[in-house]
Structure 1
Amino acid sequence: MSYNRTFHSVEEERQYVKEKLAASFRLFSKFGFNDGSAGHITVRDPENKHHFWVNPFMVHFSQVKASELLLIDEDGNVLKGDYGNGINGAAIAIHSAIHKARPDVNAAAHAHSPYGMAWSTLGRTLDPITQDACTFYDDHSIFNDYTGVVYDDSEGDRIAKALGNNKAVILQNHGLLTTGQTVDEAAWWFIAMERACQVQMTVESTGSKPLLINAEHAAHTQKQMGLPEIGREEFKPLYDMITKEQPDLLK
């Protein structure tokens, strides 16, 4: 994983990754991305790339701690952690398929955020109307095959296919899903994409048609704003803020 730091043991790296994952859930809660039991973020284990860490089911994002995360395999078997509340079947179906299809993806984030859900009902990709929206220019897609709550592995496979080589996919009538080489990246792209949805919906609610950034400049901006290292950098101040504000997440 591309964290640009040296670890002295796999245990040290694992703890670091788990702390970043727990912080991501706390941030999602702070930004209002909670919707009952829905939502999940996963990150590969640094030792076994076919295992990944995920949030315990039925635990509010605001209560997630690094020590309470679950380690599961690609078939949804719990290898470490207390799963007394069960496992989120949708997390297994969606994330397992993505991790299998995309070896370059170490983390994936999905939640039922307000603007992401609202925008998903339009069945459209985001337009390059702002500098920030260009982060996703020609780098996100639509999954337009909604058939209900995702518990079937075949639907997870179809979502992974719709994602393709992009960093994000809009799940029509459902919400957003973002990926990254690190959990920092996946979480930041989700936050940024939710805001892009909010901005475009706000602009379009005025009844005016937003002016688009031309394709050449949008593509150039994407290369400036949409790189993995940018996602990690943008996540850092949020991580510093939430760990200072809620240090119990590191336990």
Structure 2
Amino acid sequence: MSVTQLADTRRPNLPFYEERCDLAAAFRWTARLNMHEAVANHFSLAVDDGGTQILINPNLMHFSRIKASDLLLIDANDPDTMKRPDAPDPTAWGLHGAIHRNVPHARCVMHVHSVHATVLASLADSRLPAIDQNSAMFHGRQVVDAHYGGLAFEEEGERCSRLFSDPKAKVMVMGNHGVMIIGETVGDTFDRLYYFERACETYIKALWTGQPIRHLSDEIAERVATQMDTYPVASAKRHLEELKAILDEEGSNFRN
């Protein structure tokens, strides 16, 4: 029996179990890539057709320890959410609750303060330019929030959610803050998060050299972005499946 088959035999009786496993694996791998920040930052996933019943990480738990059973199931439309004894972090509620209420195409939402994306968010011009294939993926598909207003409590979360009005934009560079990635599934969103951070790293290191940067033309950048939009979705799904397989082989308890 394979490691994955063994994992399947110990499934606890949890609602949305597969979705929980996907999200738990994404937390674990984000920590492994050092894209997390202490016990802050949050991921969420809509599990109902309306998009407001969401799984989200518990308050003040390190990404590297999160298991499927740890994830909270909350209602983004429930005004009493923060009165729960297991209430999520107030900024998680403010930011993710607002996005899931106001942005129907944002099924999965990932917010981190990863190093290179946050460096980009700290520059006067926080747009990621198309200088290689990875960065070209995001051409015309990112929005910059240039009006950071403090911790993302409810009012700030509502303001940020309005910046995702263009369904084509799947990345928000949160000026002076970090990055917000949205997508249709955990695999889709994590894959985008991974490549955005890699693209930011390339750009920041290119700036370090002090040498002139060769920018791609808008025409070529848009061609690459469009090609990636229509690239088989199995690639992002497979990325997450491979990460889960590695965790299983290592004996991780993320599925518990």
Which TM bucket (shorter chain)? 0.7 to 0.9
CA deviation profile, 1:165-211 (whole Å, cap 9, x unmatched): 21110000100110001011111111111111111000010001221
1:224 aligned residue (213, 224, 227): 227
Counterpart residue identity of residue 182, structure 2: T
Asked which structure has the greater CA Rg, the reply is: 2
1:41 alignment partner, SS class = strand
Shift of 1:115: 1.1
Return the alpha-carbon distance in structure 2 between the equivalents of residues 168 and 231 of structure 1: 16
Greater displacement, 155-164 / 128-137: 155-164
8 Å CA contact retained: 2:22, 2:240: no
Q: Is 1:145 aligned to 2:150, yes or no?
A: no
Return the alpha-carbon distance in structure 2 between the equivalents of residues 246 and 110 of structure 1: 27
Q: Is 1:170 aligned to 2:173, yes or no?
A: yes
1:27 aligned residue (26, 29, 34): 29
> 2:185 maps to what in 1?
182
- For normalisation by structure 1, the TM-score amounts to 0.86
Return the alpha-carbon distance in structure 1 between the equivalents of residues 61 and 214 of structure 2: 42
Counterpart residue identity of residue 180, structure 2: L
CA deviation profile, 1:27-72 (whole Å, cap 9, x unmatched): 1100002212211000012466321000111110000000111011
8 Å CA contact retained: 1:68, 1:82: no
Residues 12 and 216 of structure 1, relative CA distance in 2, 3 Å threshold? farther
Residues 239 and 128 of structure 1, relative CA distance in 2, 3 Å threshold? farther
8 Å CA contact retained: 2:117, 2:178: yes
RMSD of the TM alignment (CA)? 2.3
Return the alpha-carbon distance in structure 1 between the equivalents of residues 158 and 49 of structure 2: 25
- For normalisation by structure 2, the TM-score amounts to 0.85
1:16 aligned residue (1, 15, 18): 18
Shift of 1:242: 3.0
Residues 210 and 240 of structure 1, relative CA distance in 2, 3 Å threshold? farther
Return the alpha-carbon distance in structure 1 between the equivalents of residues 58 and 75 of structure 2: 14
Q: Is 1:209 aligned to 2:212, yes or no?
A: yes
Q: Is 1:195 aligned to 2:195, yes or no?
A: no
Residues 120 and 21 of structure 1, relative CA distance in 2, 3 Å threshold? same
Give the 5 Å matches for 1:42-121.
Answer: 42-46=44-48, 49-74=51-76, 75=78, 77=80, 83=86, 86-121=87-122
> 2:246 maps to what in 1?
241
Return the alpha-carbon distance in structure 2 between the equivalents of residues 232 and 96 of structure 1: 25
Greater displacement, 50-59 / 115-124: 115-124
Return the alpha-carbon distance in structure 2 between the equivalents of residues 218 and 67 of structure 1: 42
Residues 105 and 16 of structure 1, relative CA distance in 2, 3 Å threshold? same
Return the alpha-carbon distance in structure 1 between the equivalents of residues 214 and 51 of structure 2: 43
Greater displacement, 216-225 / 14-23: 216-225
Return the alpha-carbon distance in structure 1 between the equivalents of residues 59 and 46 of structure 2: 18
8 Å CA contact retained: 1:13, 1:46: no
Counterpart residue identity of residue 197, structure 1: C
5+ long unaligned stretches in structure 1: 1-10
Counterpart residue identity of residue 158, structure 1: R
8 Å CA contact retained: 2:171, 2:179: yes
CA deviation profile, 1:83-121 (whole Å, cap 9, x unmatched): 2xx421111111122112221221000011111111110
1:247 alignment partner, SS class = coil
Return the alpha-carbon distance in structure 1 between the equivalents of residues 189 and 51 of structure 2: 17
